[in-house]
Amino acid sequence: MTKRNTRFQPGVSGNESGKWKPGQGNPGGKSKRRTQFEELFNEALITEGSPEEAAKLLWESARTPHQ
């Protein structure tokens, strides 16, 4: 009788039903609110003002010390 190998094998799940499935949860680490903000922000950049104005606002925001 051969001894069974019970050591953890990298990349092999011991619980197949507990694995992440495509479209389940947020494995990418990007929150729904962050995604929503980016969509609304990009829409506002496109529809409000000129690209130069948007670039100026972003540049100023990036260079202003935040508390």
Arithmetic mean of pLDDT over the chain: 78
For residue 45, what pLDDT is reported?
75
Work out the angle at residue 49's Cα, subtended by the Cα atoms of residues 45 and 53, and round it to the nearest 5 degrees. 85
Identify the band that residue 67 occupies on the pLDDT scale cut at 50, 70 and 90. Answer: low
**Distance in angstroms between the alpha carbons of the first and the last residue of the chain:** 67
DSSP 33-62: HHHHHHHHHHHHHHHSS-HHHHHHHHHHHH
pLDDT in tens, 16-38: 787 777 777 665 677 888 888 88
| pTM of the predicted structure, to 2 decimals | 0.37
The domain locations on the chain are: 30-67
